[in-house]
Every structure is written in structure tokens, then in C-alpha cells.
Structure 1
Amino acid sequence: MPERQQQRPPGTTAAMRPVPDHGEESYTGSGRLAGKAAVVTGGDSGIGRAVAIAFAREGADVLISYLDEEEDAQETAHWVSEAGRKAVPVSGDLTDPAHCREVIDRAVGEFGHLDVLVNNAAMQRTYANLEDIPDEEWDRTLATNLSAMFHLCKAALPHMESGASIINTTSVNSDTPSPTLLPYDVTKAGIANFTAALAQLIGSRGIRVNSVAPGPVWTPLIPSTMPPEHMESFGRNTPLGRPGQPAELAPVYVMLASDESSYTSGARLAVTGGRPIL
């Protein structure tokens, strides 16, 4: 279970106690994504790192999009390369639409094609009162979590063929919002609705769009954005009585990225430790 701790946003993996499990020693691939090329945003740590590792071990090359967490991003790239796949770390701010386009262009340039887009990058902050939320933080949360997804999808679609997959990370908060995470809640509800609408809009092109709704997961976002006194109880309000590890999310992303999910689109998959989504 997590210990009491605090980091400055966006947080680093090495400083966490305990260090999360991303599947470094446990995930075994079986060629389910052989020959595919993927972009994973927020790929430096947390769920993004676990997804990048799993994708690589399933046979995919991976572009790792991240803000500025250089040490974490290089660690993720190491695991992708160790799996025998091409790792392309790309730093930059996804709140800039031009950078979103650069990420996609870089992936297509490096891999020659694009089969999977995972929109996972996110920010959150905890506030007890609405009046305490700075205007600029509201704008940045929406730009990071919601608008970047729009710009990345828009840039990626011209390069995606039938059978391609877009996977967006929403949250259990999209249905059961935490009052102290109001801007984050709004974006996660928006992601769920964007996913459902886009799946219908582009279904005729054979491109699938789904979302994953995590519950409490032990990532750097938690000790860097929540009060330290909440750490020891984090995730204990789930039926399973604990937070999830990033490695426990990765198999769901692999399934949605693989051809095994050829008839799954517009779905929202809950990985919440037993907390229901509506």
C-alpha cells in the first residue's frame, strides 16, 4: 500500500514509495500486436509506461509522448528497446495543437504507418473550493486532457487504415465525479462522450474507438496532486480494497489494440477494482 508522501507535479516514478509495477518483470507477450506502430501519450510513466512495455512485448513499435519527464521517458524507452522494438521518445506540450501534429508526423516518419493511438496524457489537481481553482489551471486541464485528444485524433486519422484502433483513457470519475477534482472530472466525462461519438462517426472506415476507465491507480499523478494524508488510504474504498498497479491496466489496452477486438468499438471498459461505472 502507498506510504505518506508528496511530490511536485507532475511527479517522478523513482521517488514513489512503493515504486509502481509497470510489468517490467511480469508481462509476457505473444505477438498480438506484431508489426503494428503505436503512439502512447503520457508514455513516460504510470499507465502509459505499462502500455508501452506491453505493446512492445506484443510486437509493436512505440512512440512515447511526454511533457518533460526525461528520466522517466528514457526508462520507458529502455524497456521498449529491450523488447526488440523501436522506441521513439518525443517531448513537448500537448496543449499546443502544433505539437500534437508533430507527434503524429514523427510517428509516421519513423514507422511508415500508424495503427494504434493511445490518448493517455492527463493532469489533475485537488481543490476543496471552486473559488480556489485558478482560471489558467481550468484551461490547461481541459487543453491537456480533452483538446489534445481531439487534435491528436484529427492528425492521426488520415494515416490510419481499416483495422486501426484509437484508445482513450477516461476514468471512473466520468460517472462518479470526485468533488475535489472538478476540472479533471469534466474532462474525463468529455473523453467518454468523445469516444462514443467518434466510434460512430468513423466506424464506416473500419477504425475502432474505445476507452478505458481506470479506478484508483498508483502513478506519479497521485503523490504529486493529492494531499499526503490521503496516500495511505488511496484505493482502499474499492471492493478489492487497494489501488491498481499500472501493469494491471495494460492487458486491456493490448486487447483493444489487437485484431482480437475487431468488433469492439464505442466501448468503455472499467478497470476499477470493483467500482461500477454507469
Structure 2
Amino acid sequence: MPDDGNTAGNAEGNVDGDRHRAGDGNLRGKVALVAGATRGAGRGIAAALGEAGATVICTGRSSRAGNATSDYDRPETIEGTAELVTSLGGTGIPVQVDHLEHDRVRALADRVRGEFGHLDVLVNDIWGGEELKGGPAEWNTPIWRHDLDTGLRILRLAVETHLVTSHFLLPLLIERPGGLLVEVTDGTTEINASSYRISVFYDLAKESVNRLAFSQGHELAPHGASAVAVTPGWMRSEMMLEHFGVTEATWRDALNPERADGPVAPADFSESETPRFVGRGIAALAADPDHARWNQRSVTAGDLAREYGVTDVDGTSPDAWARW
């Protein structure tokens, strides 16, 4: 199940045929921070929080001011995400941060404390290792043949960034009861427990994030806050759409076994989703006054959609994990 950390730009900006959201305005007055909001699930989550009226601080390395530390050479920026949040009814605030740099994350926390005094929602969606994990031809490479520096970089991007972010920002989440931490990963605890995922490094990275939600939930509960691990399904991100040579408006063309203008997608691609889908589930979770009942759990975007009745931007409720 791809987790490429990149959002489908058309899906986020131009397609919104069904307006069934996570409750418009339900998060007005709430302050959220999405770490890793430049693209992918991060942008989709930020956008959905904006739909619900939240103020959303959008962090990442890719900025119009330059993205020298990003592992991707792509056009998406945190400013673009923040503008999308604002256009959807929230307030988007871009802040360029490399979440491996302690001083930058500490400064981010100081700024949030100075401007808002607290956080209601923190989303750890930092990834950036899509190119490092390689394509299918490189998967299943045993650890003794895998490039060690690449593997350790994957772990730094996927796990260390989350730890650094939580260290500096969770004090803001526990300023008031009801705070929510969302750890975004690929595959639930149950699914990953019985499935080898691409490589030792990738497998460890994605399951570690599930465990982070469990362990942080244990520490947050006495403060009236909760942590939940959420996995999107097969996202139609920019990189995914580019890979199949389609746009959000034409994505089903990739399923045509006779197409000659690009690679043919597997049949499971029919259950793919825009990054806004997982975002709407998370926005509904954040708006639930009883979200503490989800504390320490590991769930899919489909699980949240069923619980809260949210849909994707086209009105569907895909569930790419159902076959697992």
C-alpha cells in the first residue's frame, strides 16, 4: 500500500463535487499544527482541518523561499498548502521547518506558544522518504544488501522527526484538556504485525509510528489528551498521478488494461482516495468531544469514515485496506 507523502494537487484544489465534510465550522477557534503539510496526506489533512474552520499551522521543508533541505525536488510548498487551507474556510499559516533540526522545532514551539498559547491538534505526518524506499524492483532487498545509509535516513525521516516534534510541541497540547495527537503512518498495527513491508527499514519505520501513538497516548492520557495512529489508503498523490500519467480528473484511465499512454494500474487502484479523505476523517475525530475513546488505537481512513460518515471529495468512501 503506497504511502508516498504527496498529495494530489487537482484533488485538493479543483475537485470538490461532494461537500459532505467533517462538519463545517466544527473546529472554528481550534489551533492545529500539521507537521509535514507540504504535500500528500499532510496537505490533505491540513485542507480538511481548514474545511472545518481551524487555524492550521503548516510546516515542512519545501517553501517558496527555497527548499534546500528537502529530499524532494518538487514544486509543492507549505505556502501553497496554507493558501488552500484559507481558501476552504480556515486560516493557514506556513512555517518552514526541518523537523530534524532541534533548534528550528524549538523555535516553532516558541512561536506557537507566543501567538496562540496552546495547540488543540498536532499531526505528525513527516515522511520524505518516498524516493529513498525505491520502486518495486528494489523492494524485498535483504538488510545485508540494502544500502545502510539510505536505510538509516529512512528511519531518521520517518521516526526521529516525529520524536523531535512531539518533544517540543506536546507541552502545548496538554495546556488544555482534550488535545489530540495524530501519528500518520502506513498500515495499522494489526496489518503490519503479519505483513512484511518493503524492507526492514521501511517496515520498522511504519510500525514504529503506530507504536508511537500507543506509547504517547499512555503519557498523554493523565493530561486529558489522546494519541491515535491513522493510516491512509492508496492515495492519489502528485507523485502517484504522475507515475500513472493521469490527473485527478482522469485517474480512472490508469485502470484501462489497453491504455497506450502510460502504465496500467493494478485493479486495487480502483479503491484509491484523494489525500483529503483521510483528512476529513481526522477532522471529524478532532471535532468529536469524546475522541479520548480512540486513544492509543491504530485505525485506517476507512475506519474513521465509517464511524463519522465522511466521504471523499467525489462522494465515495473508498477502503483500500478492506482486503487486508
- Quote how far apart the aligned CAs of 1:101 are: 2.4
**8 Å CA contact 1:270, 1:277 repeated in 2:** no
Which of 1 and 2 has greater Rg? Answer: 2
Q: What residue number does 2:235 align with?
A: 217
- Quote how far apart the aligned CAs of 1:153 are: 1.2
Q: What residue number does 1:170 align with?
A: 185
Kindly tell me: are residues 181 and 23 of structure 1, through their superposed partners in 2, closer, same or farther at Cα, counting changes over 3 Å? farther
What secondary structure, in the 3-state scheme, does the structure 2 residue paired with 1:180 have? Answer: coil
> Which 5+ residue runs of structure 2 have no aligned equivalent?
65-74, 245-253, 255-261, 303-318
Quote the Cα distance in structure 2 between the aligned partners of 1:85 and 1:173: 30
Quote the Cα distance in structure 1 between the aligned partners of 2:185 and 2:102: 20
- Quote how far apart the aligned CAs of 1:179 are: 4.7
**8 Å CA contact 1:223, 1:231 repeated in 2:** no
Quote the Cα distance in structure 1 between the aligned partners of 2:111 and 2:264: 41
Residues 1-278 of structure 1: pairs in structure 2 closer than 5 A: 19-22=9-12, 25-26=15-16, 27=19, 28=21, 29-70=23-64, 71-72=75-76, 73-122=78-127, 123-124=129-130, 125-126=133-134, 127-128=138-139, 129-130=141-142, 131=144, 133-160=146-173, 161-172=176-187, 175=192, 177=195, 179-220=197-238, 222=240, 232-233=264-265, 236-237=267-268, 241-260=270-289, 261-271=291-301, 273-276=319-322
Quote the Cα distance in structure 2 between the aligned partners of 1:88 and 1:217: 24
Kindly tell me: are residues 221 and 62 of structure 1, through their superposed partners in 2, closer, same or farther at Cα, counting changes over 3 Å? same
**8 Å CA contact 1:65, 1:103 repeated in 2:** no
Quote the Cα distance in structure 2 between the aligned partners of 1:276 and 1:12: 22
2:161 aligned partner, one-letter code: A
Kindly tell me: are residues 11 and 213 of structure 1, through their superposed partners in 2, closer, same or farther at Cα, counting changes over 3 Å? closer
What secondary structure, in the 3-state scheme, does the structure 2 residue paired with 1:275 have? Answer: coil
Question: Once superposed, what is the RMSD of the aligned Cα atoms?
Answer: 3.1
**8 Å CA contact 2:13, 2:84 repeated in 1:** no
**8 Å CA contact 2:26, 2:52 repeated in 1:** yes
Greater CA deviation, 140-149 or 100-109?
A: 100-109
